[in-house]
Amino acid sequence: MNVRLHITNWLLVLLLLSLSVSAQQIRRTRRIVPDSIDTKRSTRRGPYTIVATAGSGLSYYSTHVLIPDALEQSHLSRFGVPASFRLMWHPDHRLRVGLESGWVPMYSYRGQITGEPARVNISVIPVLVVFSMPLAWLSGTERSIARRLALTVGSGYYLNQSRLRYDGSVVGSKNSLGWMAASSYTQPIGRRFRVAGELKWYDAVSAENAAFTAEVQLVWRAFSW
């Protein structure tokens, strides 16, 4: 009887040990599975976003204007109201790329020629490839105000247009290469919409047309995946 009792006790001890080991393995498995799932999620690329921006404001022509001597009582205006549109791809890193176009008035002047009114308007239509980067990397935190600040540069093609109104209307155009540089601040107003303020410099190099603009922009995060 004593031998059987000892054997039974040893069997119970072995059974409890096996149950304890099984329970530890189950707990360990439960801890490992979520970690592995999180690891897979962390290696997933994205998100990617298509962002559309439209804006307008005030422009100032900053280079020399040559007014014909034949124009009497001349009046020069260097100010205008520009309009711009930008379509950007925001990848899962900070460098963003896109296209920008719009309409930028450069300057206008008016006066009289032999007693008849005359007016000249100069404007440009840019078609630019642009690159943009937020300044969050300067502060070391993604939640700082620097995340809303960005620098943008671009280069491409300018269509320079001139319109003369004197005894009719004459329109001329000239192609030019040029560049653009801008800085902006963006304020979120919803999940998909933001409002931005941007200071921008346009320079159509070969046509020698350059203007500084200050714009208020509406930013729409159109698609994300």
| Residue indicated by tokens 């001890």 | 13
- 9-35 pLDDT, tens digit each: 555 545 555 545 454 554 554 444 444
pLDDT for res 32: 44
Query: What distance in Å separates the CA atoms of residue 221 and residue 225, rounded to the nearest whole number?
Result: 11
Same domain (yes/no): 99, 208? yes
Query: What distance in Å separates the CA atoms of residue 12 and residue 22, rounded to the nearest whole number?
Result: 15
Question: What is the domain range of residue 173?
Answer: 49-224
CATH number of the domain at 206, please: 2.40.160.20
Check if the beta carbon of residue 120 is closer than 8 Å to that of residue 163: yes
Same domain (yes/no): 12, 90? no
Same domain (yes/no): 56, 39? no
| Residue indicated by tokens 């998100």 | 47
Bridge partner list, 203: 179, 210
Check if the beta carbon of residue 216 is closer than 8 Å to that of residue 194: no
DSSP string, 9-33: HHHHHHHHHHHHHHHHHHHHHHHHH
- 45-77 pLDDT, tens digit each: 768 999 999 999 999 999 989 888 888 889 999
Same domain (yes/no): 54, 40? no
How many helices (H) and strands (E) would you count in the chain?
Answer: 2, 10
Check if the beta carbon of residue 87 is closer than 8 Å to that of residue 126: no
* Residue 126 confidence (pLDDT) above 60: yes
Residue 7, classed as helix, strand or coil, is helix
pLDDT for res 143: 62
Same domain (yes/no): 25, 53? no
Decide the pairing of beta strands 79-80 and 72-77: unpaired
Query: What distance in Å separates the CA atoms of residue 202 and residue 165, rounded to the nearest whole number?
Result: 26
Residue 69: Cβ within 10 Å count: 7
Same domain (yes/no): 40, 104? no
Same domain (yes/no): 38, 55? no
Which amino acid makes up residue 198? E
Same domain (yes/no): 39, 55? no
Decide the pairing of beta strands 209-224 and 116-134: unpaired
Q: How far apart are the first and last CA of the chain?
A: 74
Query: What distance in Å separates the CA atoms of residue 220 and residue 49, rounded to the nearest whole number?
Result: 10
Same domain (yes/no): 37, 57? no
pLDDT for res 68: 85
Query: What distance in Å separates the CA atoms of residue 199 and residue 216, rounded to the nearest whole number?
Result: 9
What's the domain count of the chain?
A: 2
pLDDT for res 3: 45
pLDDT for res 66: 86
